[in-house]
Each structure stands twice: as structure tokens, then as C-alpha cells.
Amino acid sequence: MELSKNYIPASAEDKWSQHWKAKQYFNSKPDGRPAFTVVIPPPNVTGVLHMGHTLNETVQDILVRKARMSGFNACWVPGSDHASIATEAKVVQMLEKEKGIKKADLTREEFLKHAFEWKEKYGGIIYHQIEKLGCSVDWDRVAFTMDTDYYRAVIKVFVDLYNKGMIYRGARMINWDPAAKTALSDEEVEYRDVQGKLYYVKYFVADENGKPTADFITIATQRPETIMGDTAVCVNPTDDRYTHLQGKKVLVPLVNRAIPIIQDNYVDKEFGTGALKVTPAHDINDYNLGLKHNLPTIDTLNADGTLSAAAEICVGQDRFEARISIVKMLGDNGQLIKEEEYQTRTGFSQRSNAVVEPRISTQWFVAMRSLADKALDAVTSGEVRIHPGDKFLATYKYWLENVKDWCISRQLWWGQQIPAWYDEKGNFVVAETEADANAAYQKQFGTSAKLSQDADVLDTWFSSWLWPIEVFKGITRPGNDDINYYYPTSVLVTGQDIIFFWVARMIMAGMEYMNEKPFSDVYFTGMVRDKLGRKMSKQLNNSPDLLKLIEASGADAVRFGIMISAPAGNDLLFDETSPEQGRNFNNKIWNALKLVKIWEANQAPGGDIANNFAINWFDNRLQDAKATVEKLYKDFKLSEALKTVYSLIWDDFCSWYLEWVKPPFGEQMSSAVYNKTVEYFSELMQMLHPFMPFVTEEVYHLLAERTDDLCVKQFTAPGSIDAAIIRQGNILKDAISGIRDLRQKNQMKPKDPITVYIQTNDQAAYEAVRSILSKQANATEIVFVNETVANTITIVIGKDRFCIATEKPMETGNQKEQLLKDLEYLQGFLISVEKKLGNEKFVANAKPEVLANEQKKKADALEKMKIIEESLSHLG
């Protein structure tokens, strides 16, 4: 068949996706092989995948394909998360914009119908993207956190933890999202440094009749809109400025309510004015002070962030509009002393991006201490390994050592409804079903009553922490064949930003409900950022369209572009140009294929491969690379593994090996060399396949008639390696490159014949490659000498001197200039090495192999300098 000029991704991708699916290669059932299990971090059904997902899915596919090709029964479970806050906000927005329907006009059941329609639409888009990327997931195992069984599992766990005393209900200061109108957990609040203002306000001291005196305390506040909720002013008991006010009261500005001046060491005398307004309803620290000093609580904000009736002024205004109004009133009143710019940290909702309000609210909580201790021990003991551990282990430990109780109730409709049932007086029971609740109520209270279910739903993470268990029905059908075979899973691949949200909580759930870790390894990808350094996200809408990238460059090029610059845990920059290198790599492979196919049609029988240096060298180079890649897989250094395979194919195979075995012009390729070349090419495609599955499967089948498919072809173990042959190959490459560089610098054409004189202590190494060196350097003769040859151009390659003779007149000036540059570089290099070796601390602490390497660098530099100096002396 005639091959296209360049590789065309679209046709190959569609063909192989359908073929793999038809063969059911990626469908897994328990059998006698060891399991390799991965559960996809379920993307939220709020839109489409961004490049962070693309990186995550690519890493998982590399690991799964490698395992499948290494004898494991690989099972990769796809799915999606209902994402209660984010999805409900999207559905509400869609209903209002497209259908003119407000949530308040719908019943819960009607709203959920619209939400499930949203899920079907966007869940389908996400799954299509995953398939287009080439992900080898088991489509028979698609899971969703609101599936009937999954829903039931979440409710069972809630009831179980409640019965164990690990879930409780109570009024606490929580984080409130005024846009989504729901509580948030501490981990759902993202703190950012923002430019704010400090407003200095007069609080007049009251006389015995509650009237203002001329005396006042100055309070510096960032949030004047909360002044009406003040219930005290607090000063440090050691602050002499306020000693005379002990036992006095001040008047709350604008509403003139008398509040006490209290004393507490909590107040920092040096910050602001040393006096603090205490607003227990709107600040966690003020709330704690209020409890300590028995202060009343006045909540001046409504659920939507507008001022409540308790504020008395600006009622119904948005909190930030009210801030402007109140600052103006204070100024008009003569109570605003000054304003100044102030850098502050403000909490934002990760879901709606609204500024979060601290608020006292009755919510459901999980007591976390005992769960956290088990999850902490699982990691610190090495039972669960984190990669890269040096970067994220400390973060994980910090979270769990400082864990707080988890607020799990959300004031939404989209999610698992809390299984608590209330009578008209507020008494409640917790049960899985309404029938169970009625029975439990009868038993507990000795009577029956009309019960209504809690309107709130559970935090999304309260369902997704069961993901590795319940995708195999471990909660709803404990002890089934799937959970016994696939659990614990092998590797979790996820982003570092949900180390506590999800990773730690899954470990908690696994230890609590399976008495076993949920996975053995956690691989943290870095954050994918845009050219401005911003994290790519749906909220910022700064991610390239994945399907458009695939359409333009192909899935393999996109995968390559994101993996080649993605060391574990490190952030990476990505834009529309990132797949270009992958596209070029595809075409390099394609051009190599076209060359090999030309040889296929022009073969001569027989041929000696036993004494063929190019074949012996590449065979050893291939085995060496295979061993390196195996170790990199084991260490989860996937970007480095890809770079190793890339260099092996682009440089060693395409740029060197194919050139070395290419027959002279007009001659045929020996069939023995051709067959060996196809064998090597096939094995290279197998090594590359986990990273770039489509182009490799296509090339594998075009190289020869096949009865198997690459995606399930089993890897062979690396063979033995002859380091001497690899070293000879490196010497040959350096010599060819050096001579070609010399030709270019001296304006010699590649076809100009030359004689090469080599002065070396290792003549045998060159003898083995003499014929290839002659051909590649276009040398009529290679001669070994003991001294510099007159009337030649001299260069130093490695530790050897090369003298190049040509019919052209010699230009010693250029040659001398280059040798002086090389000498200057080596002198600087030697100084840096000697400085390191002269550092007693470095020498004392360096590993022996590191020290030996530095000493070798010094010896090599000295030897090269000696050769250059001798060459310069011959040039005068």
C-alpha cells in the first residue's frame, strides 16, 4: 500500500478505537491473573474535561496499558461525580436562562428530573472525550455517584456512622456560601490575598444613662457592614490606654446600642488600635470570644448575603453594597476617622467563587479524629505510598494531624438526601428508609407521628470517599466476587489539590469499611497552568478545547505534549502549541516506516547480522533502555520514561541505526538485516504504546502481517547488556557528529572526500566501527597515528584527537580560534569541578558514586585540555 506523506491521526484513531472495543480488550472480569485496578477520579458532570483532566486520564491510561501488557488483569473503572453545589448552580442557571423557570417554582422531584437530564447530556460529553483521548477504560463498568445502588451505599454509611456516634447534629460556626446558599466544609474554602481597606471608626463611650460622651474608642475594621452585629468591644487587660474604661460601655455606631468593653489576652495590643469589635455571628474568633464571655449573638446577614432585619439599617441590601452605604453614613455622622489600604486573606467558595461568610448554623458533622488517625497511620507506615512523597507527605500529615470535624450537610436538592426524619416538635430519628424511620420512631418515643425527611443533602465528598469500594458494590453487596478480586485498587492518580478532600477520606472509608487501604500507591500529578501561570479550570474557562486539540493534532500528539513536560507533582504550562512536538514525533515515526517499507520491496536474501555492529549496538541499546524504562515505571517517573523512549526512537533508531544499516545507493537491503530492523521497530512501538496508543498500533500493523494486536502484546523482560558495545556506539556517534560539525564550520561539503587520522589510546573501539565511520564521514581512509599530522584540521572528540585531511587548502586561523574557545570552556568547567571537590562539606556528605563522577569529570577535562594544548602548539 502507498503511505500518505504524513501520518493522518483521525482515520487511525477511529479505526483502532472501534477495533479495541469490538474485541473487548479493555473489559475485565476476575480470573487467575493478578489484578491491576484503577478507578478514575470521577469528573464533575458540570461541563467538559479541561487539560488537568487530560493529564490525569493520560497518566492513568499509561499505567493501565503498561499493566495490561505485563500480564495483569487490568481493570480501569470510568465514572462521574454528581458534584452537588456546582451542578445545582449550573442547572439553576440553565433553567432560568433557557426556560425561564426558577428553582423556587419547582418541586424537589421536578428539579431532580432536570438535573438528571443535565447529567445525561454532560456525562455523555465527558465519556466521549475520554474515549477520543484513547483511554482504555472498561465501559461496562461506568459508575455514577447518584446511581441507585451507589445512593443506597451512601445512606447506609451515614446511618452506620450515626449509630456508632461518629455523626452528630448541632449548631456550630460554619462556612456559608451566599451564592449557593449552602454550608461548606473548611476544605471547600480557598483563601486568597486580596487588597482591602481598614476603616477607622469612633465608638463613643456611653454614660450611665446610655448617652454618648465625648470619649471614644477607635476601632479598625475591614467589614463595617457587620458593625450592627457587634455585642462587645475587647481590649487587652495589659493595655494602659484603655485601663480607665474598665466596666464601661460603648455605643454601636449608627444603631446606638450599648455594648460592654471586655478584656482578653486574645487581643494584640500592636495590631490596629489595640481594640477589637466583637461580632460573634460573623467571625469564628469572635464567636469563641462570645462563648467565653457569654455574649449575645446578633446575625445581621440573610442566607443570600443581604442584610437581615436584625441589622436595623440597610435591610435587604447586598453585603458589599451595604458596606458602601454604611461607610458613607459613618462619614456623614462624623464617626469615620480614616480609611487605609490593607492586604488581607479572604475565603472564597471553591464552587461558586463567592466570598464565604462565617455563620452559626445547625448542620450535620462527622467526628473525624478516629477516622483520621487510621488514615494517617496507613500512610506513615508505608502501607499507602505517595508519589512524589518528599513533596506531599508533609502536607498529608499536616491535614490529618490538625483535622476538624467535617460539616457534611448541604442546603441543596441535588445529592443524597440526609436520612433523618423529624416530627413536628423537631425530634428526629435516623434510618435508611421512611418505613425504617417510622419503626425506629415508634420504638424510641413509644408512639407514631407524621415524619418529614431532612431537606438537606450530603456533601459530594461524602459519596465520593466510597468510590474505590462502591464501584465494586462493596457496601451494598459486601463480599461479592468483584470487591474480593479488585480491592484494594492498585494506583490512584489525582491532583494534589484534593489530597484531603478525597485522598485522605477514601483511605478513612477504606480502613473503616474494608479494614484495608483502598489503594497501594497515590500518584499526584501537577497542576496544568496556562501561559499566565493560572491553574486551568472550568471556572476560569482558560483551558483549550480537548476535542479541537485532538482534531488538529491527534490524540497521541496531545498525550505526548502534556506528558513530556509533566514530572510527577510538578506544575506545567500548556497551550494550543504544546502538541506540536508530539505531531512531529508521529511524522518522524511515519517517515521511518516509509523508509523501511522501501527496503521491504527491495531485499536481497541472506545477510550477516551476527557481526553487524549496528545491529549488535542497537540490540544492547534497546535492552538498556528497556531496563531504564522499567525502573522509571516502578518509580512513577512517567515523564522521564517517555523521554527515554522518545530519545531511543528519534535519536538512536531513526537518526543513527537506520542510517548505519542503510544499504549504499543502488544496492539492496539484506533480508536478515531487514527482518531484524522490523523486529526492533515493532518492539519500539510496543514500548511507546502506553504513551501513544494509536500511532503505535497503526505502525505495528503496517510493518508486517499480524495475528495479534499491540495493545495486548506482552512485554518481554530486558535482556543482558554489553556495556562495551554501547560505549563503542557512543564513540561512533560522537566521532560522526564531530566530523560533520567540523565540515560545517570549515565550509566543507558533506560529499567532499576526507582522510581521517585518529590519535587514541583505544584503537580497538574504532576498529569495530571503522566501516560505519568511513561511510558516515565520507572518509576515503581512516588511519591511526601517534602524533598530530601536519597540514590537517585538528579537533578533539572525547579524549581523542582527530586530524582531518582534505584536498582543500587548510585554514589554521579558524581552527586555532575554535581550539582556543574549547580550551577556555574546559578551563572554566575545571574551575567549577575543582571548587566542588575543594568543598569539605560536599566531599564529606556526597555519595561515593557522586564523588567518583566529579573526580572523573576532572580527569577527563585535564586530558582534553592536554590534547588541545598539544594541537595548539602544532599550529604555532
Reported for 537-542, long-range contacts at CB under 8 A and 24+ positions apart, including other chains, are: 537/50, 537/52, 538/46, 538/47, 538/48, 538/50, 539/353
Identify the DSSP state of 301: B
- The DSSP secondary structure of 750-815, one letter per residue, reads TTS-EEEEEE-S-HHHHHTTHHHHHHHHTEEEEEE-SSPPTTSEEEEETTEEEEEE-SSPP-HHHH
Q: Which three cell numbers stand for residue 310?
A: 436584625
- The residues, ordered by sequence, that sit 6+ positions from 167 with a Cβ below 8 Å of its Cβ are 158, 161, 364, 365, 366, 367, 408, 430
In three-state form (DSSP H/G/I as H, E/B as E, the rest C), the secondary structure along 122-189 is HHHHHHHHHHHCCCCCCHHHCEECCCHHHHHHHHHHHHHHHHCCCEEEEEEEEEEECCCCEEECHHHE
Distance, CA of 536 to CA of 439 (rounded, Å): 50
Q: Are 22 and 603 spatial neighbours (Cβ–Cβ below 8 Å)? A: no
Q: Which three cell numbers stand for residue 299?
A: 446575625
Other CB atoms within a 10 A radius of the CB of residue 44 amount to: 22
Q: Are 702 and 3 spatial neighbours (Cβ–Cβ below 8 Å)? A: yes
388 preceded by cis ω (within 30°)?
yes
Distance, CA of 876 to CA of 867 (rounded, Å): 14
DSSP-based three-state secondary structure for 649 = helix
Q: Are 23 and 709 spatial neighbours (Cβ–Cβ below 8 Å)? A: yes
Annotated binding site: 538
Chain centroid to Cα 516, Å, comes to 25
Annotated binding site for ATP: 538
Closest CA to 546 of 43, 41, 44, 54: 54
Q: Which three cell numbers stand for residue 480?
A: 461479592
- Strand arrangement of the beta sheet that strand 489-495 belongs to: 385-387, 519-525, 489-495
Chain centroid to Cα 720, Å, comes to 36
